[in-house]
Amino acid sequence: MRSFLVFLLTLIAALLSAEEASYLVAGEYLPIRTAANGYVQEVRPAGKQVVTVHVETSQAPIGSTETYARVLSGERPVVPTGFELPQKLRRELSPGLGAWDAATIVLAWVASRVEIDTEDVGPQDAVSVLERRRARCSGLANASVALLRAAGFEARTVSGLLIGDDEAIPHRWLECRLPDVGWVASDPTLGLWTVTPRHLVFADTVTVMPEVKVLSAAGDGLDRLPHRGGRLLRPNVGADLVCRLPADWDLAEPMAMLRGGGGEVRRSKLDPEARFSSLLPGRWLLVVEAGGSIVERREFVLRSGDVHSYVVQQPRGSHDGGAKP
């Protein structure tokens, strides 16, 4: 079997734009129906010990607004006996942070200190992994969950398969509960708060491999995500872009098209404005069409939390019926 890292890189390269996939799965143990923020897995019977599985994921901003103080005020989750937050990590966490910010600090802390090693034969419990600073996917998930719980968050590991184009491998990732948006999936081998349509959830560790046939698979939207510390990051807050027509606009039926990384396209009629909300941070190209012609192209670099307002330029000569090509 190829190494996990090579497998993962090949998987990412194979996925392009759409955020869904369908499978036919046959075996003694089958995927389960489940849903989380940014992840939905539907399972339908298709025969004896056979099911079809449809997975949809979203890399759109998560949208958590609660504070870390709200998390700390809740019931403390169970952590391994004697397990405590490292002092350096504890100092980074304060009640004034947002819940998403605090959980992201914990996830990034683990990712920066534990190396993925598919050949690691040591114990995969959280204490051993953090001492050894290397782990398989299960150990990395266990360590992340333990630290999230020690920080006050509800968190749990998720077992299943990661599906490639020519093989499936057992895999483990996690979910963390943010107080106002529910459970959010995150694969620490991939990035922060990211999973793909190639993640299949099972009720427990997959010990007997089922037969998996890919019925349809496109992409996952990972190429649209920003990075933090060199890691993919599904952001919490998106950006808004408001496009307005000038008061003297005289071309009929203008249409705004916004194109982002990874081929994402949004369209809206300018009447007299168009608002594009919850945009992923990064570069976006605005194209305005009117009367069958492109009258403006403009590139924007948007950041999380931006609310950018832009007035479309009146084409020169439009008052005389002309429009630039």
Same domain flag for 24 and 147: yes
Residue 249: inside a domain: yes
Q: Which residues contact 312 (CB under 8 A, 6 or more apart)?
A: 243, 244, 245, 246, 249, 254, 256, 270, 288, 295, 296
Residue 232: inside a domain: no
Average confidence (pLDDT) over 137-153: 97
Residue 97: inside a domain: yes
How confident is the model over 93-105, as pLDDT tens digits? 999 999 999 999 9
The two structure tokens encoding residue 238: 């998106």
Instruction: Report pLDDT for 318.
Output: 55
Residue 58: inside a domain: yes
Q: What is the DSSP string of 29-40?
A: S----EEEBTEE
Instruction: Report pLDDT for 219.
Output: 77
Same domain flag for 308 and 192: no
Q: How many domains does the chain divide into? A: 2
Same domain flag for 26 and 148: yes
Among candidate residues 173, 204, 226, the one where a domain is terminated: 226
Same domain flag for 29 and 108: yes
How confident is the model over 246-299, as pLDDT tens digits? 988 888 789 999 998 777 899 999 989 999 999 999 999 999 999 888 999 999
How confident is the model over 221-242, as pLDDT tens digits? 888 898 888 999 999 999 999 9
pLDDT of residue 321 exceeding 60, the answer is no
- Number of CB atoms found within 10 A of residue 58's CB: 16
Same domain flag for 218 and 85: yes
Calculate the CA 323 to chain-centre distance. Answer: 41
The region of weakest confidence among 15-29, 101-115, 268-282 is 15-29
How confident is the model over 50-80, as pLDDT tens digits? 999 999 999 999 999 999 999 999 998 999 8
Same domain flag for 118 and 172: yes
Residue pointed to by tokens 């089922």? 210
Same domain flag for 152 and 106: yes
Same domain flag for 74 and 142: yes
Question: Quick one: what percent of the chain has pLDDT higher than 70?
Answer: 91
Residue 126: inside a domain: yes
Residue 149: inside a domain: yes
End-to-end CA distance of the chain: give it in Å, rounded: 55
Same domain flag for 48 and 192: yes
The pTM of the whole model exceeds 0.75: yes
Among candidate residues 226, 250, 283, the one where a domain is terminated: 226
> CA nearest 191: which of 170, 219, 152, 221?
221
| Residue ranges in the chain assigned as alpha helix (H) | 4-14, 68-72, 87-92, 99-113, 126-132, 137-150
CATH number at residue 303: 2.60.40.10
Instruction: Report pLDDT for 83.
Output: 87
pLDDT of residue 2 exceeding 70, the answer is no
Same domain flag for 218 and 302: no
Same domain flag for 220 and 275: no
Domain boundaries, position 290: 239-320
Instruction: Report pLDDT for 250.
Output: 83
Same domain flag for 106 and 210: yes
Instruction: Report pLDDT for 325.
Output: 35
Query: What is the three-state SS of 82-123?
Result: CCCCCHHHHHHCCCCCEHHHHHHHHHHHHHHHCEECCCCCCC
Instruction: Report pLDDT for 4.
Output: 55
pLDDT band at 11, cuts 50/70/90? very low
Residue 325: inside a domain: no
CATH number at residue 159: 3.10.620
pLDDT of residue 16 exceeding 50, the answer is no
Instruction: Report pLDDT for 189.
Output: 95
Q: What does the radius of gyration of the chain's CA atoms come to, in whole angstroms?
A: 23
Instruction: Report pLDDT for 317.
Output: 59
The residue ranking higher by pLDDT, 134 or 223, is 134
Residue 183: inside a domain: yes
Tell me if 68 sits within 8 A of 95, measured CB to CB. Answer: yes
Mean pLDDT of the chain: 89
pLDDT of residue 1 exceeding 50, the answer is no
Instruction: Report pLDDT for 9.
Output: 45
How confident is the model over 153-177, as pLDDT tens digits? 999 999 999 998 788 999 999 999 9
Among candidate residues 226, 259, 289, the one where a domain is terminated: 226
